[in-house]
Amino acid sequence: MTGSYFRVTLLGTGTPVPSPDRFGPCTLVEAGGQKFLIDAGRGATIRLYQLKVPIGRIDVQLLTHFHSDHTSGVPDLWLTGWLESHFGARKTPYRVIGPTGTRELIENLERAYALDIKIRIADEKLPLSGIATDITEFDRDGVVYEKGGVKVIAFEVDHGDVIKPCYGYRFEYRGRVAVFSSDTRYNHNVIRHGVGADLLVHEVASAPPELMKEPYIQRIIGHHTTPCEAGRVFNQTKPKLAAYTHIALLGSEQIPPPTIDDIVAETRQTYSGPLVVGEDLMAFEIGEAVSVRRFQPSSLLAERANIGKHLIEQI
């Protein structure tokens, strides 16, 4: 589909927690008729299927860093996107852009799945071009992609001293800007690249005060941004809309995690502007203003009916 719209859809707003409500980190960006994925966490293919976006239709896979919750969906996207069915059908190489280490990840996946690829080529006669990969690595801030009026700029963020490399992304299209923090602590580079964005999508992590003395909680919070800190980022960048994704609500068996209301209230200590807490399949349309749309389960029913119809037609 072509078109001049600029749309962001949160496919997975979760963390390593295997939650059925919040899938692994993954965001779909559509601009200038092109489709980009930022990361590919658990369940990314399922969310694309819900949106009726063929997996093979993704033009560029961007990676932010190598934590497995951000990459465990990569082999699924790459391999399932190659299948002949309407949900796959990639005929051109799987294009991946990411920081140094991307090549190692993808080439090792090629080794890991060599037998599947060999079998499907022999059995299903799938085109070799659709399972080929096209990898671009970068090691500094700058433009990593530019085509059809869409410019993607990578910028380094701070996810902790040993979790390197880790990058956020800034998308520019027709004078509009969407910025994605990736996983990071409170970070000035996010502010530098996020100033004046139409949409700023930021991570957030929070734990109840009673748990803050636990070393493992301190370690996790130390790698992320608290709601109060995220509010400071929003206050300094003043986006038309700020949105949370990668929502880490930490608790223990005895102490429940903070609620969504808790993180909003904490954010409000430092920021009073427009704010949305992301949900899986929530979409943002970036135009004169930024509009928010929640996924309608009724479209899921329509999708099921269509698939049923399709199967009957095939029979």
Stretch binding Zn ion (CB under 5 A), from 1-9, 178-186, 235-243, 283-291: 178-186
| SS3 readout for the chain | CCCCCEEEEEEECCCCCCCCCCCCCEEEEEECCEEEEECCCCCHHHHHHHHCCCHHHCCEEECCCCCHHHHCCHHHHHHHCCCCCCCCCCCCCEEEEEECCHHHHHHHHHHHCHHHHHHHHHHHCCCHHHCCEEEEEECCCEEEEEECCEEEEEEECCCCCCCCCCEEEEEEECCEEEEECCCCCCCHHHHHHHCCCCEEEEEEEECCHHHCCCHHHHHHHHCCCCHHHHHHHHHHHCCCEEEEEEEEECCCCCCCCCCHHHHHHHHCCCCCCCEEECCCCCEEEECCCEEEECCCHHHHHHHHHHHHHHHHHHC
Comparison of 45 and 225: residue with beta carbon closer to Zn ion = 225
Binding footprint of Zn ion, residue count (CB under 5 A): 2
The only residue of 39, 183, 198, 229 in contact with Zn ion, by rule CB under 5 A: 183
Stretch binding Zn ion (CB under 5 A), from 98-106, 112-120, 179-187, 284-292: 179-187
Comparison of 131 and 277: residue with beta carbon closer to Zn ion = 277
| Cβ 182 to Zn ion shortest distance, Å | 8
Comparison of 35 and 159: residue with beta carbon closer to Zn ion = 159
| Cβ 70 to Zn ion shortest distance, Å | 6
Does 185 sit near Zn ion (CB under 5 A)?
A: no
Binding to Zn ion (CB under 5 A): which residues in 133-172? none
Comparison of 67 and 90: residue with beta carbon closer to Zn ion = 67
Binding to Zn ion (CB under 5 A): which residues in 55-74? 67
Can you give the binding site for Zn ion, defined by CB under 5 A? 67, 183
